[in-house]
Structure 1
């Protein structure tokens, strides 16, 4: 089995939180699985939310109530792992609120049709992305990345923010035994537990922790509403124990889990 590994970055990114849609639009602090699958779907030419508009009418005529955008239907079973890049070693990416005008004419009912928009953007984001090649769809993604081809232009949450994809490599997947240690990726909090060691044990192992980053991020979609389902993710330099999840070691020694 293989792992596709690449660096994903950009000048800005915006992964909209759906809970707030007035005054200011807010972003998740890191790219999440659904947004990443959407980007991979764009590379492969799969339909997204826009194509769902016609599908909604068709499925209602057929008496159906469930459905996903094409990219999610095809790619939802991919196994991914997301690692902060070297510029964001503690998992945190700076954010800044941007204010701009939407003057297309139909954006606002106010005189002049101008809408003042405030969005919170990630500044100079970057991640390492790993994809486990364990299915036909994963193989399609690998081939497209290695050949440098895409159908639709990939972007980071919004087409104002083009994605920069670099350092594309394929490595052999190597599962390892893991009792206690550090993980180099965002991991579902339910699958890892920070070890409860006393001061002397930490000193002996030179394993004092400097940071812990937690965030609830989308991992999937509901088939009835297409709303996000969330899980809390943990990224820390503390020693952790892993439950049933398999831990893989990359070529440079980094340890990750897929989800």
Structure 2
């Protein structure tokens, strides 16, 4: 039997490193993505991370089939505040730099927070143990938000009744959701061509980000999809996959 739960994850600072570098700065993803969330859950339940070269981490292998939904909290128009920090690295390859010191620049998230929905199998022992740990706010390993020094915490454990959405009416999705050709077509038909628009007293926004959804199991590289986060009302003819109506939750969530 499947159960849907959520927790609110928060941190003072976060760094969800992108694999590329831009103008000498290591950039961060704005949104939490699924592989990072699975890593956090793996730490909570005591699964190992990266131990062997050219091998996927244990937490990913054991948790990858859990469907998740990710909703940013307290993010202005879907974007968290960011800052760039600069520090010195004088160990390892950095000692080859002039003066034996390498200056590192990193973009970091300020007070990132997300409501994370998890669809767990109540007949699978590891997932039952994970649910129990989340409910009791217990962790085998200290979870962190991308870097060891950015510790995180969670609260507000909830369990929900939920059911697939039937597309009988227009709808709002409160989580990030995967962008598709149908989403783009909907934007064009509704003439949503600006990231921000006004509708009554509520400012409307739509943000996009390409995010990892898993790993290519041979290349050991991120597999990515484009995601949307918006408060626009979407037409019932736009049939997104994995949409669910959640008890006591305004709007819908997408599980992936």
Q: Structure 1 length as normaliser, TM-score?
A: 0.83
Pairwise CA distance, 1:113? 3.8
Change (3 A) 1:111 1:32: same
**Structure 1 gap segments, 5+ residues each:** 57-66, 200-204
More strand, by proportion? 2
- Size of the aligned set, in residue pairs, is 240
Aligned to 1:63: none
Within the candidate set 58, 63, 77, 1:90 is matched to 77
Matched, 1:163 2:145: no
Aligned to 2:106: 119
Contact preservation (8 Å) 2:210, 2:227: yes
Matched, 1:150 2:151: no
Q: Structure 2 length as normaliser, TM-score?
A: 0.84
**Structure 2 gap segments, 5+ residues each:** 193-198
Aligned to 2:179: 189
Change (3 A) 1:33 1:2: same
**Cα distance in structure 1, aligned partners of 2:57 and 2:23:** 26
Give RMSD over aligned pairs.
Answer: 2.6
**Cα distance in structure 1, aligned partners of 2:147 and 2:182:** 32
Question: After superposition, what is the alpha-carbon deviation per residue over 1:150-203, rounded to whole angstroms, capped at 9, x for unaligned?
Answer: 11110111112111211122222333323421110100112862363489xxxx
Aligned to 2:195: none
**Cα distance in structure 1, aligned partners of 2:95 and 2:251:** 49
**Cα distance in structure 1, aligned partners of 2:34 and 2:181:** 17
Change (3 A) 1:159 1:207: same
Change (3 A) 1:191 1:170: farther
Matched, 1:5 2:2: no
